[in-house]
Structure 1
């Protein structure tokens, strides 16, 4: 009798040796894809993914699209585990229909993204980019910045990352507002947070930070109307998902002085190449601090997230169910008609 298939393919960069060793100790054959320079798994074609994943029972994935056609072409694949928490690129209906399991790596990168968000707030308020650009041009005069200390911060999305941000902001003695429809009232009350409607939150905040999932309801949640409700001295931070913000409207708001600046880790152009000129125009503005969807990519955060993703793979291959918070679709569980 042949041994059960325990081949696990990793299509993410920065997959640490300790997690590879842990998978091997748990009986897995680990194959880390040798991606072409400058390309992530989200850039690979379906045929390239099929070739990499042929015969695999487990897949630790980054930003590749997990489609019905791809899953159908990979009959041996039992578990798809995202090294991350967003799953808008995973066809969860197809996962269930085809009897597979899809997971996310809950809890691995909360601290990393919250730290990154604070860094963006500080960089914007203290005008780090503008100051260094001027110094490089020979102008060492001082630009007046603004503190984060005791400012009002609006948080849209009060999940794990939003709550990690709350913990950090309390050290700055910030007044924290949260969007009422995305807030856990018990948590908000216990941490002295103020629940407001979106217009109220936008109008009162010195910093607005997005930590919501991308859904049809939240797409372009921050549009021209929303930006127009913000203070001209306020800053917008998006370290969540491209598509929460209408980047074209944001570009106009920044150019016109509707808001003071933006910290951007995600862009609409990540999923819609037609927005790339808009992204490039945003990057060129002196009042924008940007990173390439890197908020979760600290060494420690990736190591934690790698391990969570790997643990879900082993759970499924061993016939167990991963922690409920990690499971986004389980086709092994059939609901009676």
Structure 2
């Protein structure tokens, strides 16, 4: 999709373009990218640790879609004189996906689709969103639009994060509650926090234990924010009605991973930002950054 999402003709006049279709771990990436002066990374799918930078002697510019990328060791890049730039996104793709996953999970879309293809007919039932309480863990750049859409569905919206204010919550039709109340009162809990040392494992055994057995969890943020083992245990034991996940501790999700067979789950392959309009914005910026760098002009530096 990269080359069809923007006009690369000016770049192609200056560089030989090579599109990598397969997922690359460090050794494979070092071999494939060894002679590349410029590398364009799709979000956090490929990690760029110090070890990899040391094995890419010709690399001078690394461009990533998005303005933050936890998979890139920025200090190591800087130490080797490698510029790291970002591409802006936009739109409402994550919020739209979150609401879509809520409906698909609670109304059992995947199960009913499989059933009708197998010759069966209606055999599940689930709640409508109107009147349910949506708990938003992280009412920021992504959580805010989710709250806005939830209001349109007639949901009661509550929210918590470490820096939340009543004024910010009010702008999104949400009520601020304490952290325990967020888990205890939510019929659907949706996660929208950046991954950091303070947010890693934030939704663990205790927090899942506070949730109603009829409640659902949706995570379109980062996998490690939710304790994967605790979530699996809650699902298997029936202490949670279901979980919709777009992110995982390890991506791609390994074959045979227990989540693949966990009950009452909707699993997507990190699609939050994967839309044609988002890619058009990403790759327009990528092309702009490459040309600017080649011309000796400033590039859009990645946010730390």
Instruction: Give CA-to-partner distance per residue, 1:242-301, whole Å, 9 cap, x none.
Output: 21111221111112221110101112232896xx64x3x323244111111222222232
Which residue is equivalent to 1:89? 71
1:296 to 249, 273, 286: 273
Matches of 1:204 and 1:308, distance apart in 2: 42
Trace 1:211-230 onto structure 2 (pairs within 5 A).
211-230=192-211
Work out whether residues 88 and 215 of structure 1, in 8 Å CA contact, stay in contact via their aligned partners in 2: no
Contact kept? 2:166, 2:175, Cα under 8 Å: no
Separation of aligned partners in 2, 1:51 and 1:154? 45
Match of 1:231 among 209, 212, 216: 212
Is 1:79 matched up with 2:54?
A: no
Whether 2:272 is the aligned partner of 1:328: answer: no
Compute the displacement of 1:322 (Å).
4.2
Q: CA deviation at 1:90?
A: 0.9
TM-score norm. by structure 2 comes to 0.86
Partner residue, 1:58: 38
1:160 CA drift (Å): 2.5
Q: Which residue of 2 aligns with 1:250?
A: 231
User: 1:156 Cα shift?
Assistant: 1.9
- Long gaps (5+) in structure 1: 1-13, 330-337
CA distance in 1, matches of 2:67, 2:192: 11
Higher helix fraction (1 or 2):
1
In the superposition, relative to structure 1, how do residues 55 and 133 fare at CA in structure 2: closer, same or farther (>3 Å)?
closer
State the superposition RMSD in angstroms. 2.7
Whole-Å separation in 1 of the counterparts to 2:287 and 2:144? 25
Superposition map of 1:244-283 within 5 A: 244-270=225-251, 277=256, 279=257, 281-283=258-260
The equivalent residue for 2:18 is: 32
Deviations 1:155-183 (A, max 9, x none): 22333322332332232132222223153
Superposed displacement of residue 201, structure 1: 0.9
TM-aligned CA deviation for residue 60 of structure 1: 0.8
CA distance in 2, matches of 1:239, 1:254: 18
Equivalent position SS for 1:158: coil
Q: How many residues align?
A: 302
Unaligned 5+ runs, structure 2: none
Question: What TM-score does the superposition give when structure 1 sets the normalisation length?
Answer: 0.79
* Shift of residue 89, structure 1, vs aligned partner: 1.3
Deviation at 1:215, TM superposition (A): 1.6
- What are the residue-to-residue correspondences of 1:93-104 with 2, within 5 Å? 93-104=75-86
Residue of structure 2 aligned with 1:241, choices 222, 237, 247: 222
Name the structure 2 match of 1:334. Answer: none
- Residues 67, 90 of structure 1: 8 Å contact kept: yes
Cα distance change, pair 270–317 in 1 and its aligned pair in 2 (3 A): same
CA distance in structure 2 between the aligned counterparts of 1:237 and 1:212, rounded to whole angstroms: 12
Mapped partners of 1:246, 1:200: distance in 2: 19
**Is 1:312 the counterpart of 2:294 in the alignment?**
no
Cα 1:140–1:21, aligned 2, differ >3 Å: closer, same or farther?
Answer: same
Could you say which residue in structure 1 is the equivalent of 2:160?
179
Change in Cα spacing, 1:160 to 1:313, as seen in structure 2 (3 Å) is: farther
Shift of 1:188: 2.2
Question: Which one of the candidate residues 120, 130, 134 is aligned to 1:149?
Answer: 130
Q: Distance in 2 between matches of 1:271 and 1:98?
A: 29
